[in-house]
Amino acid sequence: MLEANEYTRVIQKLYGKSLILESPSEFHPVLHFYFIDALAHIDFTLGIQAYNYMSPRNIMSMEYMRWRVDEEKVGDRAHFPEFINWLKKEHPEVFAELPMLWTGIYDRDDPAQYRSFRIALSPDDRNPIPAEYLSMFVDEFFERGFIKQLYETSKLARLFDKFVQSRAT
């Protein structure tokens, strides 16, 4: 491990979070998948800044991330990126409440993307994403109001199901 830096502090912040007061088994399956997916991308982005690129931790993360690429295409998960764009157009108030990482990565008009599993805010920027952004992403995903939206009975989950159903007809 490199000397402690601002990225290791954000990793500690991420791993200090807990869902102990929540019931993840009651989360909407697609929203839960993309929640965990975003955390995995945050973790990977932090890991390559805090540890040697070829550390066992980063190698294991890369293997896990490769598996998730195929999993994104399974079932209703494939509809999630288009759902985010639909929300932007049809329900901008709901879109505005989503974590910035989701809106940035999946909004077709935003240049942010996952590049080799790491978060890139701009495809032309070769500098590492600032630790403060990653810290903000962690906070947004563990904000109480957002966590409530992951449950199957939430407005976000109902909108997703409605969106998928409209695509099936």
pLDDT in tens, 17-60: 999 999 999 999 999 999 999 999 999 999 999 988 899 989 99
Number of domains in the chain: 1
Instruction: Give the mean pLDDT of 143-156.
Output: 97
Ranges 42-51, 77-86, 96-105, 122-131: which has the least confidence: 122-131
Domain hosting 160: range is 26-168
CA 85 to chain centre: 16
Note whether residue 19 is domain-resident: no
Alpha-carbon distance 133 to 144, whole Å? 19
Closest CA to 156 of 94, 106, 101, 80: 94
- Residue 119 has φ and ψ, to the nearest 5°, of -80, 130
Alpha-carbon distance 118 to 129, whole Å? 9
Note whether residue 140 is domain-resident: yes
Note whether residue 20 is domain-resident: no
pLDDT at 3 (0 to 100): 59
Instruction: Give the mean pLDDT of 140-163.
Output: 97
Alpha-carbon distance 105 to 92, whole Å? 16
Q: Rounded to two decimals, what is the model's pTM?
A: 0.92
Quick one: tokens of 72? Answer: 């994104």
Note whether residue 78 is domain-resident: yes
Instruction: Give the mean pLDDT of 5-25.
Output: 94
